[in-house]
Chains A and B, each alone.
Chain A
Amino acid sequence: MKKSSQKDILYAIRLVMKYGEKNIIGYCLTTILAGVLQFLFEVYYLAFLLSAIIHGASWNTTLQICLAGAGIVALRILLSKISERCQLFLELEIIPKIKRNIYEASLRQDIEKQLNKENYDEYTFVVQNCGQYIALSVNILCNAVIACIYVGFFCVELVRQDVYVMALIVLMLAFHFAMNYFLHKRLSDRKFASEQKLQPSIRKNDYYRRLFYLKSNAYYLRDEENYSHVMDLYDQDVKEYADHLVKCRKEFFAWNLFKNLYDNLYLYMIAMIALILLLRYRGILDISVYWQDYALVTKLSSLYFFSMVGDANAVKKYVSAMRKFLEKIIPEKTAVHLYDAPEIAICNLSYQYENGGFSIDNLSLFVRKKEKIAIVGRNGSGKTTLLNLLLGLYQPASGEISIDGKDVSKYFCHGQHCAISLMSQNYNIYKLSIKDNVVMGQEENPKRVAEALGKAQCGDFLDALTEGVETKLGRDLYENATELSGGQEQRLALSRVFYDDSSLILMDEPTAKIDPLQEDRIFSRSMDDFRDKTVMMITHQLGITRSFDRIIVMDNGKIVEEGPFDELMGRESIFRDMYNYQMGDA
Chain B
Amino acid sequence: MSPPAFFLQNHVTHRHTHQRTKTMIKAMKLYYSNMPKWLLPYNLLKELLSSISIICNGVILPSVITRYFTGEIDFGIVLIAISVNLLLTFLVIISSHVVGNRMLPKEEIRLKGVVQRNIFKKMHEVSMENYDRPEFFDQFQLAMDNAEEAAKASAEWLNSFWGMMIRIVTTTIVVTLVNAKILLVMLGCLILGVILEIFISVVGIKLKEKSARIANVFEYCERVFYVRDYAIETRISSISKAILGLYDHNLDAAKRLIKDTYRVILPVDVFRAAIPEVVTYFGLLGYVCYGIVVRHAYSAGDMVMLLTGALTLYYTLSMISSHLSRIVDHSRKFQFYLNFMNVEGQTEETEPFSEKDLTLKIKDLTVEFDGHIVVDHLSFTMEQGSSLAIVGPNGAGKSTLLKALLRYYKPTEGHVYVGGREASTISEKEYRHLFAYMGQEPVVMEASVLENILMKSAITEEDRKFVWELLEQVGLKDKVESLENSIDSVIGKEFSEDGVLLSGGEMQKLALARVLAMQKPIVILDEPSSHMDPKAEKELFECLKCAGKTLIFITHHIKNAQYADRVIWLENGAICESGTFDQLLKANGKFRMAYDSKYNVLLGD
Contact = CB atoms under 8 A, between A and B. Distances in A.
B538 interface: yes
B105 A245 contact: yes
A426 B289 CA distance: 78
B349 interface: no
A485 B397 CA distance: 9
Interface of A, secondary structure class, is: helix
A238 interface: yes
Dominant secondary structure of chain B at its interface with chain A = helix
A229 B484 contact: no
B277 interface: yes
A413 B82 contact: no
A424 B394 contact: no
Nearest to A279: B69
Contact of B503 (A229, A380, A428): A380
Interface stretch (B316-324, B329-337, B440-448, B462-470): B440-448
Interface string B346-383: 00000000000000000000000010100000000000
A232 B457 contact: yes
Contact of B446 (A207, A426, A515): A207
A432 B289 contact: no
Contacts, number: 476
B461 to A, nearest CB: 19
A104 interface: yes
A213 B601 contact: no
Contacts of B526: 486
Interface in B78-124: 78-79, 82, 85-86, 89-90, 93-94, 97-98, 101-102, 105-107, 109-110, 112-113, 116-117, 119-121, 123-124
B223 A424 contact: no
Contact of B505 (A264, A379, A439, A479): A379
Contacts of A505: none
B282 interface: yes
Contacts of A391: 232, 236
Of B221, B242, B439, most A-chain CB atoms within 10 Å: B242
B222 A127 contact: yes
B149 to A, nearest CB: 15
Nearest to B399: A485
Contact of B269 (A81, A118, A515, A581): A81
A571 B232 CA distance: 38
B408 A222 contact: yes
Interface residues of A, number: 177
Contact of B500 (A59, A355, A420, A442): A355
A476 interface: yes
Contacts of A107: 225, 234-235, 240
A280 interface: yes
B105 to A, nearest CB: 5
B292 A53 contact: yes
Nearest to B430: A224
A58 B293 contact: yes
A39 B447 CA distance: 58
Contacts of A103: 221-222, 225, 240, 244
A117 B495 contact: yes
A512 interface: yes
Contacts of B598: 516, 541, 543, 583
Contacts of B286: 63, 66
A221 B440 CA distance: 14
Contacts of B245: 441
B300 A54 contact: yes
Given A100-B247, A213-B140, A117 B497 contact: yes
Given A123-B226, A424-B233, A116 B503 contact: no
B601 A233 contact: no
Interface string B473-493: 001000100111000010001
B192 to A, nearest CB: 15
Contacts of B277: 73, 77
16 contacts: A46-B307, A205-B112, A207-B446, A219-B408, A219-B437, A221-B123, A257-B97, A268-B89, A269-B85, A286-B69, A418-B237, A430-B242, A517-B593, A578-B534, A578-B535, A583-B598
Given A92-B254, A441-B237, 7 more contacts: A81-B266, A104-B240, A241-B113, A242-B109, A245-B106, A253-B102, A287-B66
